Amino acid sequence: MSVIAYKLEDEIGKDMAQELLVNINQKKAHVAVLGLGYVGLPLVQVAHQAGFSVTGFDVDQSKIDKLNNKESYIRHISKESVSDLMETGRFEPTSDAKKLALCDVIIMCVPTPLSKYRDPDMSYVEGTARIIKDHLRPGQLIILESTTYPGTSREVIIPILEETGMKAGKDFYIGYSPEREDPGNAKFSTIKIPKVVGGLDPQSQELTRAVYDTFGIDTILVSSLDTAEAVKLTENIFRSVNIALVNELKTVFTAMGIDVWEVINAAKTKPFGFMPFYPGPGLGGHCIPIDPFYLTWKAREFGLSTRFIELAGEINTSMPFYVCNTLAETLDKQFQKSLKGSKILIVGVAYKKNVDDARESPAFVIMEYLEKRGAILDYYDPFVPEILPMREHPSLVSRKSITLSKEALKGYDAAFVITDHDDVDYSMIVESTPVTVDTRNATASITNASLRNKIVKA
């Protein structure tokens, strides 16, 4: 091909990018969000509220059916807000991938779990990229939001899309902007959290920045796709390591007879140089227990080990067994009972307070471990009325929450607080059970001396 032909193609690419940029800024671009879960559906709302026409794609037909029926399947997203989406005529939920060809901006919000060997499971990203490939056309912008290892966009997504014969940066554009959702946190909704933006090339970055700017979200530009991918891992590794630190401090201070919660609450009064993190029964959710291992896996490609990250992982994954042993010791010392045959009420199975998301919840590891030791379990969680299908803990699927009452609490040998939802009557639980083992300091507000004597912190 001649130099003149190359220049002509470059000009065509620039013209397509300019046209797309104008359409984004004028909100004429059609946006698709792939994956309508805890990240994707809030992003749909933001794009829609900004004035864009939005297609929401998911392979889970039950989600599509609920949205078409103006129903929400995420607790902190109201039925009324879903109804508002559907009534404008600018939002279409679908499982028909052919409709992606009509979209100008395609944003991927799909899971990135770990395999059973704790390696990255890229099947959702790869599968979604292949769906896009089958309907890719010149001039589209593809953005990945899923948390992943540095190099994913270049090494996984672009090669799949280029199987069409089109070239990234010339025929279509590639951006990366890591999701930063905190489900249930009203203070930091999607639109209030700045977005880190990286692009394959200057045009891709400018288009990606324009998308989020036009959504009304502040953007922070970084120099490359790989850098943007590294940002999210860094954020979650930071949390994982610091949570591991306070979990280790908890085990040491508890052995010394010192309340780690009191220590942290006093330490955080220092106005500089200290950031409070809190111990618990293990890590949950789709980010912090998983993301650090993405970097650990990638580092091996460069012959490097991530000892600090791996040590934090070991500490955090040991915590479910530490708190279970505290429960076992409490039953033995106070009541001369073993776990085997003891009836335990698990309080809270969501991975964190005030959400209905139970992905990677340490409660499930705890429940399976206690049952292997012969305990008889029920659970109570006002946010998780039934345990939904999951790959990791099939024996727990379809179990249902009890209805909490004084009468229902009779007969339990212990209550075991795993998730500290706000809207739970902890005083009634403590009063109505022989002992409450609290892994989250959920009972801190109880001041009655006789009730406090029935609480053991784990």
Query: What's the sign of the alpha-carbon dihedral 219, 223, 224, 227?
Result: negative
Query: Which single residue is written with the structure tokens 């059916």?
Result: 65
Q: How far is CA 158 from the centre of its chain?
A: 25
The secondary structure of residue 187, as a DSSP letter, is T
Beta carbons of 349 and 418 less than 8 angstroms apart? yes
Read off the tokens for 19.
């046209």
287 catalytic? Reply is yes
| Residue type for position 238 | F
Read off the tokens for 2.
């001649």
DSSP string, 246-288: HHHHHHHHHHTT--HHHHHHHHTTSSSS-------S---SSST
Burial letters 343-371, b for 16+ CB under 10 A, else e: ebbbbbbbbbbbbbbbbbbbbbbbbbbbe
Nearest to 285 by CA among 387, 150, 418, 183: 183
Phi and psi for 262 in degrees, rounded to 5?
-65, -40
Query: What's the sign of the alpha-carbon dihedral 35, 38, 43, 49?
Result: positive
Determine the Cα–Cα distance for residues 128 and 142; give it in Å rounded to an integer: 11
The C-alpha torsion from 323 through 343 and 402 to 457, rounded to 10°, is -30
Determine the Cα–Cα distance for residues 219 and 109; give it in Å rounded to an integer: 18
Phi and psi for 393 in degrees, rounded to 5?
-130, 65
> Which of 103, 109, 287, 324 is flagged as catalytic?
287
Task: Give the strand order in the sheet containing 219-221.
Answer: 91-94, 53-57, 30-34, 105-108, 141-144, 173-176, 195-199, 219-221
Burial letters 105-134, b for 16+ CB under 10 A, else e: bbbbbbbbebeeeeebbbebbeebbebbbe
The secondary structure of residue 11, as a DSSP letter, is H
The secondary structure of residue 88, as a DSSP letter, is T
Catalytic residues: 287
